[in-house]
Each structure stands twice: as structure tokens, then as C-alpha cells.
Amino acid sequence: MKANLIFNPNGQDDVIYRTIIKWNTTWLFQLNSTKYSWAKSLYQVMVWNFWIPEKVSGLWEDATQFHTSLTEDEKIAYKWILSFLIFLDSIQTVNLPNFSDYITAPEVNLILSIQAYQEAIHSQSYATILETVVDSKDREDIYYFWRTDKHLLERNEFIWSIYQKFIDEPNDENFFRGIIWNFLLESIYFYNWFAFFDTLADQGKMSATGRMINYIRRDELTHVTIFSNIIKEIKKEFPDMYNENIIKEMMEIAVIQEIKWSKHILGKNIIWMGYENIENYTKWLANERLNMLWINPIYTNVVKNPYKHLDRLQDNNWDRGNFFESTVTNYSQSSAMNWSWDF
């Protein structure tokens, strides 16, 4: 594979011939002539979802609750979960342009640039939480927990190695594995942690952190949808490159890692969580994510979400079934100009 030119005077922009990768485009953003309607829909949603952590009030109350209301197990989980989330969004912010350099649909590149921006906002959010809630003497340890915890270091190195292999050897297989891993990172790796913060909020604890996490989760759902659509377009346009067995193999690795790390950090003493729920939730979620790619479940004995009671705390502005099929229901679309609105 070859990275895109910044400008290609000899390129072709005809929509009828455009493909998600490997197309000879000029790199002109002619956004009234696009092929992938799901990218246009996601662009609108992602722009409307704009937020900054400074607008989330109540973190000072969380700082008080952190010291007075959380158990020792909850304090440990709160801090070390932030450590992993900081790593995930840091590596996503840095790495997304490496994928974007090989995407040849301008409308898809546009939403990848918004995704990278949102990942940076998430990193700012975690920093804001640390500065407000956590004692200053603990912050450095949280940022660099991977230097002292072998489980986290092993996990971080595995994620990095998938991305680095594509950067070092940008061929078809490494690109495919890279975008699959991006999909898995966005769709599997965050959600036990989101459930932890929801569990605290359900008990009236750390409500401001919970609200910020809801904003982050809303963004992450769009990121999951971006990469599920990229994968499906590759299946349609480049069937020789697509490999369902690789997807299943990588999903199983992600599930094993997520369960292992979640048990390591959350232990047995977080209310409503526990080892059995962690394992069942991760496998249930894996089946849901595979369904987004039109792949049958691999954990057939898990059919229910054990954290269903937390649904009421999660963003309710989405019709979730439609969302995962990329049909967004909560915005008005102009018939004349689908890329902008009157504010």
C-alpha cells in the first residue's frame, strides 16, 4: 500500500469509481459529491456532539466524595482505570492519521480528523479529572502506572505493536489488522470502565465524572461506527483483503485481555460488578460488536447484558439499534446542503 499524496493533480474524483482505499483521488474536499452516506451522517452527529470538559460542572463535589464516600477498592479502580484510558486515547490521537493516510474517500477522512480531535478532548478530560479529583502526589503515578504494573505494560505494548507493525510494513494484511484492532479498541476496551463509572453514579457517587464519561462514551460510539463501516466497505470493495477469521481471532484476543485486566483492576469487591459479570459483559459486548460486522456471535452461551440495570444512566439521545446500523435519528438534515446547518 502507498500513502496518499497531499495533492494529486492527476487524480479522479468521480464518485462512481471511488473506493474506500487505494483510489487515485485529487484530495479536493468536494463535499457535495460523496459516495459514503454513512460518513455524511456521522459528520453531522460528531459536529453536534461538540463538548469540552470545562463545561461539566461538579468535579469539586467529586473530589470531596473521592475521599469521603469511595471504598478503598473503588479509589484504586478509579485511579488505575484513568491510567489505562489516558493511554488508549493518547495512542488513538497519535495513530489515527496513520490510517487516514491510506483512506481515499475524502468524506471518510473528514470524520477521521474529527475523531482524532475528539480523542484529544478525551485526553484533556482525563487530565481535568486528575487535576480536580485526585491528590497531586498521585497524578504522576497514574500517568505512568504502566511502568510499575506488568499487566498494564504488557497490554499497552500489545496494542502499540499492532499499530507499529503497519507503520513499519504498510501492506494489505497489516492495514486490515490495524483497522480491526482500532475497531476492537474503540468497541471493547472502554466499556467495563464505563460500567464502573456508571455503577458509582448509580449509587450517587462521582456524578460529574459519570457525566463526563457519558460524553466520552457518546463519542466512542461514533468511532466504533466509523470503523465498522470502513471494515464493511473493504469487505464489499476488496474481498481478497477481507478475512473474517482474522476478525474472530483478534476479537478473542481482545476479550481475553479485557477480562484479565478488568479482573486485575476491579477485583471482586465493586458492587454490581464482580468476576462473573465482568466476563459475561465482555463476551456479550463482543457478540454485539461482531453483529455490527454481520458476523455470527462466538460466545453463544452469553445472551444477556448483566449490566442492563445501568441503561438508564447512559445517553438516551440515540436509537441504539439504528445507531449501530448508521441510521442516526436525532438531527435534522438539510435537503439542499447536507454538510452544514444554520446555528
Positions marked active-site: 126
In this structure, the number of other CB atoms found within 10 A of the CB of residue 170 comes to 16
**Distance separating alpha carbons of residues 126 and 130, to the nearest angstrom:** 6
Kindly report the three-state secondary structure assignment for every residue of 247-293: HHHHHHHHHHHHHHHHHHHHCCCCCCCHHHHHHHHHHHHHHHHHHHC
**Distance separating alpha carbons of residues 107 and 35, to the nearest angstrom:** 8
Q: Check: CB of residue 122 under 8 Å from CB of residue 128.
A: no
**Which triple of cell numbers denotes residue 177?**
489488522
**Distance separating alpha carbons of residues 129 and 53, to the nearest angstrom:** 9
Q: How many CA atoms lie within 13 A of 215 on its CB side?
A: 23
Q: Check: CB of residue 63 under 8 Å from CB of residue 133.
A: yes
Q: Check: CB of residue 174 under 8 Å from CB of residue 182.
A: no
**Distance separating alpha carbons of residues 139 and 149, to the nearest angstrom:** 15
Q: Which residues pair with 103 in a beta bridge?
A: 21
- Report the largest interatomic distance among the alpha carbons of the chain, rounded to a whole angstrom: 65
**Distance separating alpha carbons of residues 156 and 91, to the nearest angstrom:** 9
